[in-house]
Structure 1
Amino acid sequence: MSLYDHLRELRYRVLFAGVAVIVGMAVSAIFYNQLYGVLKWPLDVAIADLAVTHPSLELQPTNNDVTSPFIIMMKVIAISGLVFTAPVWLYQLWAFIMPGLLANEKKWARIFVGCATPLFLAGVATGYLLMPKAVGVLIGFTPDDQGILNLLTMENFLSFLIRVMLVFGVSYLIPLLMLMLNFLGIITSKHMKKFRPFIIFGAFAFAAVATPSTDPFSMIALALPLTILMMITEQIAKWNEKRKGKLSDDPLARDKVLQDMLAADEAAKLEAEQTDAPALDSADKK
């Protein structure tokens, strides 16, 4: 494809993903009250826990100005639309990258997207479930019996919650990115094993920098799952290399796979000429 064709396809992918996110935001707007209650739950739990552990400490959620409710609504709708449509925009991102590979290798697109979506959502859920403890630890530094009232604006709290959820969600995709590089032959399991201590140290360093809160609990809650996922990635990479090694030792199997890949690639090219071009032309007309 020429540079112009790549730009056309990029525009099509971005437009498709953008429309999906907008539709997700519209659906989220219908259930805004329920979503608001869900996002406020970590704060409610933190307030209840603080009432037990720090009875003299007061924490009051507030809105500071007239525009705060509207800004909060837009943030809630935006993050909900982004999370709910994650499978769509993750697939569009991968579909834009994959055409450089042979047709037989493109099957990994669905596999990686199928893994990326639950990993991203698992990271988001981890950050969400972590918030009551994080809020309790941070607010708990307020001196007792000093008559201090902690006023927490909902806008700042939701921004903080959204950042934590997105950081955890994106972080959980890092091991999948390393596995993708292994399947493409860029890095090997030997590299992962050699740099394993640095990977573990990097996971904790990344968690310390990436988490918006400064408490050690949040850092450990991100670093430990990330380290475990890295170790699982190393084992899957080792299995993949053994599979490729067995295949490469069999000349007949290697030739058959190569022929199948070339035949599938030719079939994909013919299909792409019949389907992709009309889709791009339709996008141009719109």
Structure 2
Amino acid sequence: MPLREHLVELRRRIFLAAIGVVVGAVIGWFLYDPVFTALQQPIVHVAQERGSLIALNFSGIATSFDMRVKVSFFLGVILSSPWWLYQFWAFVTPGLNHRERVYAFGFLGVAVPLFLAGAFVAWWALPNAVKLLTEFTPTGATNLIDAQTYLGFVMRLMLAFGLAFLLPVVMVALNFAGIGTAATWRRGWRWAVMIAFVFAAVMTPTPDAMTMLAVALPICGLYFVALGVCVLHDRRVDRQRIAAGLPRLDGTMDDEPGGAGATA
């Protein structure tokens, strides 16, 4: 596909994904009250636990309206995740045959739960993060947290974790599209593990190692599961290429040393 057609297709997929987010935001508008109550619950709990004044502060006349709009769009991203994830898959893998396009259902069946699981892990870590970060408030002082700053913190945390848990699905999608081979992912596993632990350490601002491990280990496990799927897919592609008289993905032929037809 020429570059211009790629750009047109990208614009189309982004537009369709944006429409889905807007539709989800409309639904999120009506879910604002219970969701906002849940969002501020960690702050309410810490305030009650310490018997001090810690609360969200709406500092401007339009802040409450801005909060409702932002929470609605945040919910729109969460609710429409199956739709925009499908748009991503459809853009990355446009050249798949009919049989391989069926994998889109498997892609969504894995990607959506993983994205939601990542968001849930962030939600699980949020109370500890709020408790730790508000511990620096001096005794007798009040801590009026800017509502929009707090919301931005929660949104970044949940989206970052959701996208981090999507890493294995992106790996498989790129592998199916012929962009990244299993050998590429295998060579980079040490970097992947290091990045997973650095990400967990930065995104979980709590002093205990257990929270960091609870975040990093699932990401590492998902990476290796995705690597296994890529290995199986590359083996199937190699068999098809050899049958057609083409070299393997690594450039070797069947009768070359190290190939399937080589003797010991």
TM-score range, shorter chain: 0.7 to 0.9
Alpha carbons of 1:175 and 1:11: their partners in 2 closer, same or farther (altered >3 Å)?
closer
Instruction: Indicate the residue corresponding to 1:123 in structure 2.
Output: 118
Instruction: Indicate the residue corresponding to 1:237 in structure 2.
Output: 230
Q: Does 1:81 pair with 2:82?
A: no
Aligned residues: 243
Q: Distance in 1 between matches of 2:94 and 2:175?
A: 18
Q: Give 1:4 deviation, angstroms.
A: 5.0
Instruction: Indicate the residue corresponding to 2:62 in structure 1.
Output: 67
Alpha carbons of 1:95 and 1:23: their partners in 2 closer, same or farther (altered >3 Å)?
same
Conservation of the 8 A alpha-carbon contact between 1:10 and 1:96: yes
Off by >6 Å, runs of 4+ in structure 1: none
Q: Does 1:215 pair with 2:210?
A: no
Alpha carbons of 1:190 and 1:47: their partners in 2 closer, same or farther (altered >3 Å)?
farther
Which of the residues 156, 161, 164 maps onto 1:168? Answer: 161
Instruction: Indicate the residue corresponding to 1:35 in structure 2.
Output: 35
Counterpart secondary structure, 1:99? coil
Q: What is the one-letter code of the residue matched to 2:88? A: L
Q: What is the one-letter code of the residue matched to 1:215? A: T
Counterpart secondary structure, 1:60? strand
Instruction: Indicate the residue corresponding to 2:220 in structure 1.
Output: 227
Q: What is the one-letter code of the residue matched to 1:24? A: G
Q: Give 1:107 deviation, angstroms.
A: 2.6
Question: Which residues of structure 1 form unaligned runs of 5+?
Answer: 256-286
Instruction: Indicate the residue corresponding to 2:94 in structure 1.
Output: 99
Q: Distance in 1 between matches of 2:46 and 2:51?
A: 15
Q: Does 1:109 pair with 2:104?
A: yes
- Which region of structure 1 is more displaced relative to structure 2, 14-23 or 235-244? 235-244
Instruction: Indicate the residue corresponding to 1:149 in structure 2.
Output: 142
Superposed CA offset, 1:110-159 (max 9, x none) = 3223221111111111111211111011112334xx32222222222111
Q: Distance in 1 between matches of 2:95 and 2:233?
A: 21
Q: Distance in 1 between matches of 2:76 and 2:136?
A: 35
Conservation of the 8 A alpha-carbon contact between 1:98 and 1:109: no
Q: What is the one-letter code of the residue matched to 2:131? A: G
Q: Distance in 2 between matches of 1:62 and 1:29?
A: 21
Question: Which residues of structure 2 form unaligned runs of 5+?
Answer: 246-264
Counterpart secondary structure, 1:126? helix
Q: What is the one-letter code of the residue matched to 1:179? A: V
Q: Percent of pairs identical after alignment?
A: 33
Q: Give 1:102 deviation, angstroms.
A: 3.5
Alpha carbons of 1:240 and 1:47: their partners in 2 closer, same or farther (altered >3 Å)?
farther
Alpha carbons of 1:89 and 1:249: their partners in 2 closer, same or farther (altered >3 Å)?
closer
Q: Distance in 1 between matches of 2:19 and 2:183?
A: 42
Q: Distance in 2 between matches of 1:91 and 1:111?
A: 11
Instruction: Indicate the residue corresponding to 2:249 in structure 1.
Output: none
Q: What is the one-letter code of the residue matched to 1:12? A: R
- Which region of structure 1 is more displaced relative to structure 2, 70-79 or 225-234? 225-234
Q: Distance in 2 between matches of 1:67 and 1:21?
A: 23
Q: Distance in 2 between matches of 1:225 and 1:162?
A: 21
Alpha carbons of 1:97 and 1:192: their partners in 2 closer, same or farther (altered >3 Å)?
closer
RMSD, aligned CA = 3.0
Q: Give 1:20 deviation, angstroms.
A: 1.8
- Which region of structure 1 is more displaced relative to structure 2, 120-129 or 216-225? 216-225
Counterpart secondary structure, 1:224? helix
Conservation of the 8 A alpha-carbon contact between 2:93 and 2:177: no
Instruction: Indicate the residue corresponding to 1:265 in structure 2.
Output: none
Q: Distance in 1 between matches of 2:78 and 2:169?
A: 18
Q: What is the one-letter code of the residue matched to 1:65? A: G
Q: Give 1:190 deviation, angstroms.
A: 5.3
Q: Give 1:171 deviation, angstroms.
A: 0.6
> TM-score normalised to the size of structure 2?
0.77
